[in-house]
């Protein structure tokens, strides 16, 4: 991510964390909604004994979700750009989660997930979104699963980024990869599963 956009994103979340603390509200998530989103990833993918990467892992909630379901991954990578969250994650998970602020260079993972990372509005949000998908596809063997807000909305909030589902599908089809679209959670929230 370009430095100035990284700063803007960190500024936004540091403000939320300062007001609400190191919890889901501090990351802008509503009560109970995150587990429902994780269940959509879980419904489509088998994480057992896989190398899993959580891009934008926040508080490590997806790792905790799998742990609570007794799912044992081979390795779990948590990618996070916020220094406050990185410090918290390293302290909380010790050696259970490999924490970094960038994608692993020489490692291939089986599954990459990214939940809501691209929902915060930035100037070049669409460019960053596609670049991140390409980067995740480069290091992922089986599936990249990503959630985002599509533009099928009744109103728009200034701080959120809305993507054309039609254009995202076109982008994936050009890669000639299989994919699944799941919109069972909300009409405006898309869960995209891209299979290698």
> So what's the pLDDT on residue 26?
59
If DSSP codes are grouped into helix, strand and coil, which group holds residue 3?
Answer: helix
What percent of the chain has a predicted confidence (pLDDT) above 70? 84
Q: Which residue has the higher pLDDT, 170 or 117?
A: 170
Banded model confidence at residue 9, pLDDT cuts 50, 70, 90:
low
If DSSP codes are grouped into helix, strand and coil, which group holds residue 58?
Answer: coil
Q: Which residues contact 158 (CB under 8 A, 6 or more apart)?
A: 121
The full length of the chain comes to 196
Both structure tokens of 47: 């994480």
Q: Which residue has the higher pLDDT, 92 or 14?
A: 92
Rounded to an integer, what distance in angstroms lies between the CA atom of residue 76 and that of residue 188?
29
Q: Which domains does the chain have, with CATH numbers?
A: 34-195 (3.40.50.150)
* Range picked from 14-18, 24-28, 89-93, 133-137 for highest mean pLDDT: 133-137
> Per-residue pLDDT tens for 47-96?
999 999 999 998 889 999 999 999 999 999 999 888 888 888 898 898 89
**Nearest Cα to 148, choosing from 60, 40, 62, 76?**
40
* Residue 45 CB neighbours (<10 A): 19
* Average pLDDT for 24-43: 79
> So what's the pLDDT on residue 12?
58
- Whether residue 32 has pLDDT greater than 70: no
**Which of the residue ranges 40-49, 150-159, 166-175 would you say has the lowest mean pLDDT?**
150-159
> So what's the pLDDT on residue 2?
47
The per-residue DSSP string of 74-114 comes to SEEEEE---HHHHHHHHHHHTTSSEEESS--SS--EEEEEE
Strand order in the sheet with 75-79: 98-100, 75-79, 51-55, 109-115, 140-149, 189-195, 178-186
**Nearest Cα to 37, choosing from 118, 116, 144?**
116
């Amino acid at each position: 991510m370009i430095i100035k956009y990284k700063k803007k994103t960190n500024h936004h979340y540091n403000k939320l964390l300062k007001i609400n603390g190191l919890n889901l509200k501090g990351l802008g998530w509503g009560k109970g909604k995150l587990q429902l989103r994780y269940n959509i990833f879980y419904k489509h993918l088998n994480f057992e004994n896989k190398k899993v990467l959580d891009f934008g892992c926040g508080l490590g909630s997806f790792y905790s979700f799998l742990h609570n379901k007794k799912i044992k991954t081979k390795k779990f990578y948590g990618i996070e750009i916020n220094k406050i969250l990185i410090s918290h994650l390293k302290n909380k998970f010790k050696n259970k989660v490999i924490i970094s602020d960038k994608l692993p260079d020489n490692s291939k993972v089986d599954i990459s997930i990214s939940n809501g990372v691209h929902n915060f509005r930035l100037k070049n949000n669409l460019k960053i979104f596609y670049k991140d998908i390409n980067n995740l596809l480069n290091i992922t063997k089986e599936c990249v699963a990503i959630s985002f807000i599509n533009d099928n909305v009744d109103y728009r909030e200034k701080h959120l980024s809305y993507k054309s589902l039609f254009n995202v599908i076109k982008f994936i089809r050009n890669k000639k990869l299989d994919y699944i679209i799941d919109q069972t959670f909300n009409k405006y929230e898309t869960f995209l599963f891209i299979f290698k």
